[in-house]
Amino acid sequence: MEEKNSQPLVRMIGISKAFPGVQANDCVDLELFPGEVLALLGENGAGKSTLMNILCGLYRPDAGEIEVRGRKASIQGPRDSQALGIGMIHQNFKLVDSMTVLENIILGMKNQPFLLDMKKVRSEVLQLSERYNLKVEPDASVWQLSVGEQQRVEILKLLYRKADILILDEPTAVLTPQESSQLAKVIRLMKTEGKSAIFITHKMDEVMNFSDRVMVLRKGKAVAGLSTASTSPSQLARLMVGREMLFSIDKKPFSPGKTILKLDRVCAKDDRGLDALKEVSLDIRSGEILGIAGVAGNGQKELAEVITGLRKLESGSLRLDERDMSQSSPIAMIKAGVAHVPQDRVSVGSVGDLSVASNLAMKEYRKPPLSTGIFLIPRRITSLAKKLIERFKIMTPGPDTHLKFLSGGNIQKTILAREIGACKSLLVAVYPSRGLDIGATESVRRQLVDQRDQGLGVLFVSEDIDELMQVADTIAVLFEGRVMAVMPSREAEPERLGLLMAGVGA
């Protein structure tokens, strides 16, 4: 490495950026040297994409400076970063679906002539596509292309603009293994031409295969910058996941009862019609918390939706209390005693413009004591609400306050209170402590453990390995829709979990 005698190409100094409720970047420093590939490693929400969106001008940092080629750069928007030779391939591609490949490639280029010369563009693009072995159909509309082809268009777009600082945000997340290895070839070829690249990932093998150096982000902070050759996947896993001290939770000794939920080779598709769950087989017994570990987007959401009847099974079977419920509606699952604390508590789990009391009554309102016939009994709803507010320590001015005025933690407690109240066999909790402060997190975990101690089954999805090891009795790791391993939590080691979550060591 000629790092020592060369000046950094890009330098980000003390970058901070906050979104409402989240410190996405906290005083982050980053250096990129000419001709190197830098991997930016971290869990979801670690602030990787935010940092790169700042470099490419889409976000403005709250504090910090950027230097490019040794000079202070004032990046006010994407146009400025493009002028500096910076190009980014976003996780959600920035392509206009209804336009052709060629139109997308030249979109926004100021130095194109007023009257577009598509013949010239076509021949130049075809030349590039040949040189880098990136096959595309220049006149096809983007919506007709596969995801892999769309990514090739994105790469050609950067090459055509002669960008020499390339940012790739989880470039392989959507690719087949063949396409991934082709991408690796392209990156290597660009490197030999003196271009530099930063790529965002949470997959360990890519870091090891692609990068010269690796920088680890955790919760918005840069925790390490290492040369890839001098590190190991297990060291990186440790850095990425971090070790956070938690209060330990008292729970009764683990003594599972009969099987409540049995998933047998369940397959399901995600919203885009791609395979999200691949032959998932899992059991949850009464008195057991089954923790689902994995980086977000590896099938957790779909798993929870399958169990709560919100998503159809493509194949396989789902048995609840020994009854086949493979094709049941959400209402049938509710009646069977399944409760759901969804991932998106604001848009799916609650109605912000209704009162706390109404939100609490939302599952029980159909039957006495809350209603008779078609009429609700407001007095009973209010008294139920008061009881739950006290029991779950929901901080609210009163049962009539609109839910949206409560803090995130108290909204979550409201949902938990409702779901636990309605839960008779299985509680499905997806990231229940996400975004909560320590106190609220503790009380949410406490509630999960209480349910287990009372003999219910709990499915607990989390990204936080420490939390899983504390709360769960059994841990299953999901990676790309597959169960990588199932183990008792006392035998689990964070390092091994981290590797499994990154798809290493099946």
Where does this chain bind other proteins (CB under 8 A)? 19, 56, 58-59, 77-79, 82, 88, 90, 94-99, 103, 106-110, 112-116
In the complex, the smallest distance separating the C-beta of residue 102 from other proteins, rounded to whole angstroms, is 10
In the complex, the smallest distance separating the C-beta of residue 226 from other proteins, rounded to whole angstroms, is 30
Q: Residue 371 forms beta bridges with which residues?
A: 376
d(C-alpha 252, C-alpha 419), whole Å? 22
In the complex, the smallest distance separating the C-beta of residue 321 from other proteins, rounded to whole angstroms, is 40
In the complex, the smallest distance separating the C-beta of residue 8 from other proteins, rounded to whole angstroms, is 24
In the complex, the smallest distance separating the C-beta of residue 28 from other proteins, rounded to whole angstroms, is 18
Closest by Cα among 53, 55, 131 to 94: 53
d(C-alpha 152, C-alpha 93), whole Å? 11
Q: Residue 76: count other Cβ atoms within 10 Å of its Cβ.
A: 9
Instruction: Classify residue 414 by its DSSP letter.
Output: H
Closest by Cα among 261, 225, 218 to 240: 218
- Pair 158, 150: CB distance under 8 Å: no
Tell me the DSSP string of 190-208: HHHTT-EEEEEE--HHHHH
Closest by Cα among 342, 338, 334 to 263: 338
- Measured from the CB atom, the residue of 181 and 347 that comes closer to other proteins is 347
Q: Which residues contact 85 (CB under 8 A, 6 or more apart)?
A: 68, 162, 163, 164, 165
- Pair 416, 444: CB distance under 8 Å: yes
In the complex, the smallest distance separating the C-beta of residue 57 from other proteins, rounded to whole angstroms, is 8
In the complex, the smallest distance separating the C-beta of residue 86 from other proteins, rounded to whole angstroms, is 11
- Measured from the CB atom, the residue of 1 and 116 that comes closer to other proteins is 116
Peptide bond into 369 cis (omega under 30): yes
From its phi and psi, is residue 44 left (phi > 0), alpha (psi between -120 and 50) or beta?
Answer: beta
- Measured from the CB atom, the residue of 19 and 405 that comes closer to other proteins is 19
Q: In what order do the strands lie in the sheet with 259-269?
A: 275-285, 259-269, 315-320, 323-324
Closest by Cα among 206, 191, 201, 196 to 169: 201
Report residue 88 as tokens: 């980014």
- Measured from the CB atom, the residue of 25 and 451 that comes closer to other proteins is 25
In the complex, the smallest distance separating the C-beta of residue 52 from other proteins, rounded to whole angstroms, is 12
Dihedral, 361, 364, 365, 366 alpha carbons, nearest 10: 170
Q: Residue 389 forms beta bridges with which residues?
A: none
d(C-alpha 69, C-alpha 78), whole Å? 18
- In the block, residue with structure tokens 């890519």: 206
Q: Are strands 196-201 and 457-461 parallel, antiparallel or unpaired?
A: unpaired
Q: Which residues contact 297 (CB under 8 A, 6 or more apart)?
A: 44, 173
Report residue 110 as tokens: 């100021």
- Measured from the CB atom, the residue of 116 and 332 that comes closer to other proteins is 116
In the complex, the smallest distance separating the C-beta of residue 160 from other proteins, rounded to whole angstroms, is 12
CB contact burial 470-498 (16+ within 10 A = b; e otherwise): bbbbbbbbbbbbbbbbebebeebebebbb
